[in-house]
Structure 1
């Protein structure tokens, strides 16, 4: 087929050419079955003979097909022409691209487009895809003026064949290219953050932050030149731009979501200054130079880049940081090898196939052995140890092969849940080092998969609950030293100030004297009732004030009938009624809180004291722990081995005031 002939594709009628690329042509066509206009991207015959170009074209189709998002141009169909050329069809977007529009000074429109692009990139990044060519021409508009991110032709997916993504080769448009990409280094999602920063500057000012007459000079400016200053009317954007265009990836926004949050904060602080403003038009000196503005790297540029690197490399690279995402401080301090970046090395790539080696029976991506190992290690309980024989290390290796593999994603969720369980269990057992390591690993894993923080917030709540139960036990034992050590050793949990203050108040209210034998003795060892002991009932209103100050969660107390909702202390009786549906830990926590508030000593009564006072519409009252760990308890002076961790509708709280 000659270059001027139109391809023949069953079901489509080619109307005209709408664009050309280095390895494909884009046609406007009509899909006969639906009577709609579509864009057909067809690979060029000469590119078909180039293995790398063909693989990139197929990689683009696979990548886009996985990214179903309102602001990402999707794919309708993938196939081959009558002559065997690969093609795929996309929505036809008739409103042109961003480079054709003048938004200079229109801050609201600029922010709207940035929000759309950041949402699209965040969606892609979470799925392991880095675009690497964000620029104005790749922001298209549909009939509803909705901006759409297009052209994932050089997108980087975790696990890609390195020959397709060209590590060591600068690919992309130099006008938007971050320094590390211009140097041919490995990039991550922060490369797209940089490009969005360039796009923001361009939309706001009508020109690019760096201008040059050729691709090499443009790339050098991104590496060497300081970030320019915005006009005074846009100075409130400068901090946003500076962080986006930082030379070092570690100094940029860590994610598209973080950049989106910063944009929202910028608009909030700017207030009335966020409307349309007059920005001077670009002059001849700083107007974009079209060839350099839109150019990617050409082969001849590589030799020049190597020579230029000798001239400025020592200066530009001095003090440079690693381009990989930084580990959290907690993980860096953890003692396990994986926390220090000593997990299994990246699987060696076959120089012919670009695929990683795996054990016999592994799938074509070289990931099967790692997934199988991780599954077995999880079943055996080898989550973080032994070294190089645990689920964490196996998952880390699977991520390096293909983070977007469905089984990798599923395994990631399972390992996260296992870490959460380990952290909760370890904190409950008083193993603070193990709990901290589990929490740090969970945070690292959530950041790696691009989480929005909600999973960590839920985990923090779970660990807070385990911390509260552990503290309850120490309070019951009157182990003040242990309680203080517990709170000091769990500062890494990062609880909010009111909650932390409430826990500290409970410890401060503890009596310095050791607990009497009655706090953990069985019923047979209960003390003789004191004459005239001041035993009082705790009402629901009393308990509500305690909860309002400490934010204590409700205990499990069953359901209201077979199909009713969950029952808790708030749904039983009225404000003056005795509080019920509270656990033994709740009773102990309330006693400690009341002692601290009233500066008097309150405790749970003995069995004998309760027998002398047993007159109440509530049939049971929390009393003694039935064992040393308070896993069971007794009520109403009788040996009712109730579960200490839940509440009962007929069991409330009575306290004895001493002195």
Structure 2
């Protein structure tokens, strides 16, 4: 029988209250259509009229809805009660929260939980979401005992109303709060990493690193006191904790993935000592505060004290150990110094063009990049493309939420462009966009999982392209040519063998060779010699590294930019460089470029030797060159091999 004071929600039977906060109540309920238990978070009626509180509640629902990760509590449904109160339903996690676990000294278990939480935070941070309230009570466990990050009520995300996240307000829980958040300053993903450091210390030792009788004192200790020392049995963790809990954000780990890497390195260094150890009881005890954890902090004389110290602190909440996750804290306005603006872009390093605008702000670069993404200008033209604009944003503020959100958006756009190019048979275009996506994933500290997924999508696209080609008569040479330059895709060997068997590359080698060496009469072409000055523009725009090219006089390493002159054909470029340049220059002027065949070069004499379309082996690891009887390594350059392209007239 339900309490008559409980809300009425169609499709749900309210069982009992399992949590109460300043803005909402959490109920255990049964979803009648599926017969499953869920947690319902319902906004309180007396705060519905408050615009900021209502916006925060809606912000939490929107934030959770866009985050789908195995270690983030998801959302089932959003709606309103019969009385018009906003609510949303979530999985009911019955195995409690982290503050109820006793893990002191259990290093493997602590490391396992930290990895899960850091992977969840990395996923959120890349999408521009900063949690801002990471604490033990917001880590729940599902039936498989998997840690789940909950309560994004005060999360900072792209598109949030500025009134919800204004500098000068401090929201969160002081027991885990980094100094800059306590001061009411702007925060980024490194605030979450500080909280993870506090959480790691707490799990390892069995108590919080700082203890105080009230929230004001707790905030002061985080701001002023040195990072406490771990017991001797856990001393190998001290460097990890010191970096995570550094007072200044720039001294902390730069990303959640970097923190995972440091955790892995710590475990490798510790070797056999990375096991459960006993933590002396004395280390788990400290002079007890007035309450086990600071609770709601009312503003008053205490706030004035903090304001004098430069800490703009408002309502900050935690809750009893046995309680489920609380509703988000409601911040009240306090006085605090406005933090300095983000440093401007270094004009001495800036590049000319649309990507660089007056003021050098992240917002300007992001606005440029968003328009360039909409226009499909991912990598070109130079200094007016999303890649260059993002690079400027990274150099200005690499941890800004907009920079991180834009990084994810460009990564997704490069993925789509690479897949599109391969479906159209443009292997060179697919390759260059794939390699840029790889670079972007490395730059944002990704695990490589996203790139692995892209490889699979590209392999599927390649398969479909081959299927379409082989369905038509006399297209096996074209299919063989498609497979000639896919070493960069690093396919699973079994799958690559299967594709080549379907095409019959070996059986049709002579056909492919004849097609590659015959003059092309159907479409008039011209041979273009690429000068060193031409190639320099491409190298600057794409950031492509110089290929290996051997050694010259007195052992000097040869490169394309120290060999020859700007007006002469560029040398010391590899066949892979040539393909990338062809894709790039085609995007500049809208014409189609490719490597020429031997027959085309015989019909159109060129001023220098150059790479040919014809591969000398199945993987195109070696390529034929005009005026050379022997195949050459396609991955390196040669000081007597230029860059010639065939272009339709």
1:505 corresponding residue in structure 2 = 551
Q: Deviations over 1:152-208 (max 9, x none)?
A: 010000231111124211100001000110110000000000000000000000111
2:5 corresponding residue in structure 1 = 5
Alignment of 1:98-177 (within 5 A): 98-177=98-177
Partners of 2:93 and 2:633 in 1: CA distance: 68
Q: Could you tell me the TM-score, scaled by structure 1's length?
A: 0.60
Shift of 1:210: 1.4
Q: Deviations over 1:293-313 (max 9, x none)?
A: 3435543343231123399xx
Partner-residue secondary structure (3-state), 2:99: helix
Q: Structure 1 310/234 Cα, relative in aligned 2: closer, same or farther at 3 Å?
A: closer
Partners of 1:78 and 1:177 in 2: CA distance: 30
2:495 corresponding residue in structure 1 = none
1:651 corresponding residue in structure 2 = none
- Alpha-carbon RMSD across the aligned residues, in angstroms, is 5.7
1:384 corresponding residue in structure 2 = 383
Q: Structure 1 149/375 Cα, relative in aligned 2: closer, same or farther at 3 Å?
A: closer
2:618 to 568, 571, 575: 571
Residue 60 (structure 2) pairs with residue 60 (structure 1)? yes
Q: Deviations over 1:428-478 (max 9, x none)?
A: xxxxxxxxxxxxx999976897755899999xxx9xx9xxxxxxxxxxx9x
Shift of 1:218: 1.0
1:202 corresponding residue in structure 2 = 202
1:342 to 353, 359, 383: 359
What 5-or-longer segments of structure 2 have no aligned partner?
Answer: 313-337, 418-435, 455-484, 489-528, 580-594, 597-612
1:333 to 349, 356, 363: 349
Alignment of 1:48-447 (within 5 A): 48-282=48-282, 286=286, 289=289, 291=291, 293-295=293-295, 297-300=297-300, 301-309=302-310, 333-336=349-352, 342-343=359-360, 346=363, 371=370, 375=374, 378=377, 384=383, 403=402, 410=409
Shift of 1:44: 0.7
Number of corresponding residues? 483
Q: Deviations over 1:260-306 (max 9, x none)?
A: 11111111111001000011225686266474734355433432311
Contact 1:40 1:88 survives alignment (8 Å): yes
What 5-or-longer segments of structure 1 have no aligned partner?
Answer: 312-319, 348-366, 419-440, 466-476, 522-549, 559-565, 574-578, 597-601, 605-624, 633-642, 645-659
Partners of 1:166 and 1:226 in 2: CA distance: 28
Partner-residue secondary structure (3-state), 1:299: coil
1:657 corresponding residue in structure 2 = none
Q: Could you tell me the TM-score, scaled by structure 2's length?
A: 0.61
1:31 corresponding residue in structure 2 = 31
Partner-residue secondary structure (3-state), 1:571: coil
Contact 1:173 1:296 survives alignment (8 Å): no
Partners of 1:310 and 1:145 in 2: CA distance: 38
Larger Rg: 1
Partner-residue secondary structure (3-state), 1:309: coil
Q: Structure 1 116/228 Cα, relative in aligned 2: closer, same or farther at 3 Å?
A: same
Partners of 2:400 and 2:204 in 1: CA distance: 40
Shift of 1:214: 1.4
With CA pairs under 8 Å and 6+ residues apart, which has the higher RCO, 1 or 2? 2
Partner-residue secondary structure (3-state), 1:72: coil
Partners of 2:147 and 2:451 in 1: CA distance: 32
Partners of 2:121 and 2:633 in 1: CA distance: 52
Partners of 1:71 and 1:592 in 2: CA distance: 44
Q: Deviations over 1:114-138 (max 9, x none)?
A: 0110011011111110000000000
Residue 624 (structure 2) pairs with residue 582 (structure 1)? yes
Partners of 1:220 and 1:336 in 2: CA distance: 46
Q: Structure 1 332/87 Cα, relative in aligned 2: closer, same or farther at 3 Å?
A: farther
Contact 1:175 1:292 survives alignment (8 Å): no
Partner-residue secondary structure (3-state), 1:246: coil
Partners of 2:557 and 2:378 in 1: CA distance: 45
Partners of 1:241 and 1:231 in 2: CA distance: 13
Contact 2:407 2:440 survives alignment (8 Å): no
